[in-house]
Amino acid sequence: MSTAALLLVLTAALLHASWNFVLKKSGGGLGILTLSAIISSAILTPVGVFLIVSQSFQFSAVALGMIAGSGFIHLAYFLLLDRAYRAGGNLSVVYPLARATGPLLTIVAATLFLGERMTPVAIGGAVLILASAMILTGDPRKMFSKANGSAAGFALLCGCTIAAYTVWDKQAVAWILIPPVIFDWGAGLTRCLMLTPLTMRREPGAIAKAWRTHRKTAIVIGVMSPLSYILVLTAMVSAPVSYVAPAREVSILFAALLGAHVLGEGEATKRTVAALGMVLGIAALAVG
């Protein structure tokens, strides 16, 4: 993986962990998710339209299908992630479990369906990152305790959606050559159009309430979420998805430290020690 791609992924990881921390701290809910999606679409729409016009980008049927498919998969991801947090799962349990499951499945899918091959050094780095992610959670058996059982199940399903959208989106930006910003804007707009009526039907007034009580939270998520993923999409244009996916998981370190030091979820020492494993793993991916 090139240095530029690695820097994009690491910056995205910090942004991703930060908006997850904000979501967990706020208590989540459909209102906040929908409001943040609306804000994201409002911010990216003028940018997307400008790029479409300036680059004379033409939407083929395949491109529209890829954008719609990504929007649907990301909708499932957001709903499952929010459900895991609302089920009582700690940030330092839900986040690592979902993020570690995603790249593992992504590597398998990239090898089987995209024809990608990782070098032995890169494989070692990916394994080290995933192992460090498990260490960051403390005792892995606690993931499925009565306190976290339901949340852990939703987190695992969330990990499956991560693998699905990673492989799907890689094909969109690298093979079909949809510009990352246009692609993320279209997928986000699709998600927004599906999520808004769902929220209005299930929880009438939730969007207005979120604007009154969690406006700043929704704005932070609405800005950080698309920005972090646009950086990842940009990296995936040139870098193999089997390298990008595990490198993104340094975000687990940021989330675990936020959970331990800010939310008081404990085991700060173990999480800090595991950081060394992640650093070595990322270095192996960069060399490999």
Domain assignments of the chain as residue spans, ordered by start? 3-287
Cβ contact 106:162 at 8 Å: yes
Give 74-109 as a DSSP string.
HHHHHHHHHHHHHTT--HHHHHHHHHHHHHHHHHHH
The DSSP code for 214 is S
Cβ atoms within 10 Å of 61's Cβ, excluding its own: 7
Task: Give the separation between CA 234 and CA 229, rounded to whole angstroms.
Answer: 8
Q: Could you report the per-residue pLDDT of 5-54, keeping only the tens digit for each?
A: 889 988 998 898 888 888 878 887 889 999 999 999 999 999 999 999 99
Res 269 pLDDT > 70:
no
Q: Could you report the per-residue pLDDT of 140-198, keeping only the tens digit for each?
A: 555 555 555 577 788 888 889 988 998 899 999 999 999 999 999 999 999 999 999 99
Task: Give the separation between CA 231 and CA 252, rounded to whole angstroms.
Answer: 17
Q: Could you report the per-residue pLDDT of 93-119, keeping only the tens digit for each?
A: 677 777 767 777 777 777 777 777 778
